[in-house]
Structure 1
């Protein structure tokens, strides 16, 4: 569950083929999709299926223009795209999305997104769309669950899944949720370990029945709104590094003001903090870990800026998830 940002595409590009084979990105069209996203995806994901959800952008812009253009551009660039229909989306967006079914080389079908409370009616909704369930990837979006006990929440969601999923031959069934903090504002300086409740919930789902695939929002919060420029100018230089069941969140300082420090110095310090941890690494061939190690140990290498560390953090997250999946 990703944003149409160049950093996410670059992070996917750095994964080996066997890891890319286990990922099906669901991209959400943001307020201002960057011009470089499609070309990055053409390099990273040529011939591989992805999903495109334009409901948020439709609500912001009042139309499907950005979604339509991105859908067509990805298909023309050799990236097969499947449209996402949302049970709770406005009718105008869903009409625009369903018009793209089968038009990008991805074959027939669509992704149907619903909440747990909407799940009991998903099969009837698919029938109204005149789409066979065998051509539908069902995505249950459980929302932001950072504040929930993951074991208890898994029992709640698992009960709904067991009551609603069996009996309908969906092409696939995926549980998505999010728990990544929106920013570092509530965290103290230095290192904080934050539980990845989305992963912990999925791991604690009751076993049996149809397989339920895993989805999260990567290293990002699910909020698709763009932070104002002033907020980014005053943001701390921070990183989030995925480990088993948790994120290692390292909060730095601003780059300006009396206590500010240069961005490169802070990122190099964060890299050194990470490589000293016992839980660093453990993924042979991980591009992100290699990059962090180089930044930590080679002062002559650029420490990078915010865009480069988005790529590093996201690549580590993707690689860890794929490695830990059954």
Structure 2
């Protein structure tokens, strides 16, 4: 496996659709990313167990699922939603155990530590959880509003508490609360923030993370919507992205999703039948009807993607091949988890290929074939 510098950090919920979407990535695409995986709290219904997981199950299932779907690859692991129910006082026990279980299962989790966490009682637990198998030992998440004149002192104090130096750290500049309606305005703010962070030390990675994807589905039933990827446009402007851009400055977003982490106790009813198809500068959201058989509805959704003029082709990724096959009636409609899986695989592939293309990288096309009974008509 190639251990190259990442060019992209997607923030993903550690849910079935997302981790299966990671698993189906082509290896040359997977080599170029470090996902940030956000662990849902215990109240979230687990789609595999069909119920909320217990504390012990979360400790063990988290590590095993990462190892199974992202084996021997680095991943930033964000556990901040577990503290409320697992307990602050007990975190020195349960938090390191999550990382130990994952590493023993051959995963490579890197803890994500909020800036406030590094300055408080949680720091001791995170210090026991630092990565040992990767050059990046920890990622410190800094919210955009925390980047002020005192950021240097707070980061230095936090790193001292964790026992690390900038060379072993990634900094996640989290712009999840930013208004991305004006890409150029955000670009200016992001550029200043990145310059401030770089002036503090020689970080292993400095990651910008934000998204313009809305919290509510932007498409009407049986309709389409186009959402500009302003976080991508802002990033390109902020770093003047080209072949010679600094390798330690890394683009990040929230996959094909909003930055709002909303975890529900119940299953939430029937998932909206739609795909979020990422293009070079936008998302094409294609939504089907809530009525009718899923097979016919999702076949229609996929046919509309193929007719849109935005379809990247069957060989672009395994997700695109699935969309093509669904449009032809060669594959089933899938379900809510399947659609998130396909969204995730295609989106990550789109971002990696676009950044990689600017950097002069090449990628292998996905192989595909038609069903045997279809070949007889050719």
Q: How does 1:142-291 map to 2 (within 5 A)?
A: 142-145=175-178, 147-166=180-199, 168-184=201-217, 186-189=218-221, 190-207=223-240, 211-227=248-264, 229=266, 232-233=268-269, 235-254=271-290, 260-282=291-313, 284-291=315-322
* Structure 2: runs of 5 or more not aligned: 1-10, 47-56, 360-378
Of the two structures, which has the highest relative contact order with CA contacts closer than 8 Å and spacing of 6 or more? 2
Q: Distance in 1 between matches of 2:331 and 2:99?
A: 38
Partner of 1:6: 16
In structure 2, the CA distance between the partners of 1:235 and 1:45, relative to structure 1 (3 Å rule), is closer
Contact 2:225 2:285 (C-alpha < 8 Å) held by counterparts: yes
1:126-184 superposed Cα distances (whole Å, 9 cap, x missing partner): 23433111111111111244543111111122123223413511111111112222231
Aligned-residue CA RMSD (Å): 2.6
1:238-284 superposed Cα distances (whole Å, 9 cap, x missing partner): 22111111111123333xxxxx2233322111111111111111573
* Structure 1: runs of 5 or more not aligned: 255-259
Q: Distance in 1 between matches of 2:228 and 2:314?
A: 20
In structure 2, the CA distance between the partners of 1:199 and 1:24, relative to structure 1 (3 Å rule), is same
Match of 1:311 among 341, 348, 362: 341
Structure 2 residue 92 is matched with structure 1 residue 59: no
Equivalent position SS for 1:91? coil
Partner of 1:296: 327
In structure 2, the CA distance between the partners of 1:8 and 1:212, relative to structure 1 (3 Å rule), is same
When structure 1 is superposed on structure 2, of 153-162 and 81-90 the one drifting more is 81-90
Taking structure 2 as the reference length, the TM-score comes to 0.76
Match of 1:44 among 57, 63, 69: 69
Partner of 1:78: 106
Taking structure 1 as the reference length, the TM-score comes to 0.87
When structure 1 is superposed on structure 2, of 214-223 and 36-45 the one drifting more is 36-45
Count of aligned pairs between the two proteins: 317
When structure 1 is superposed on structure 2, of 234-243 and 287-296 the one drifting more is 234-243
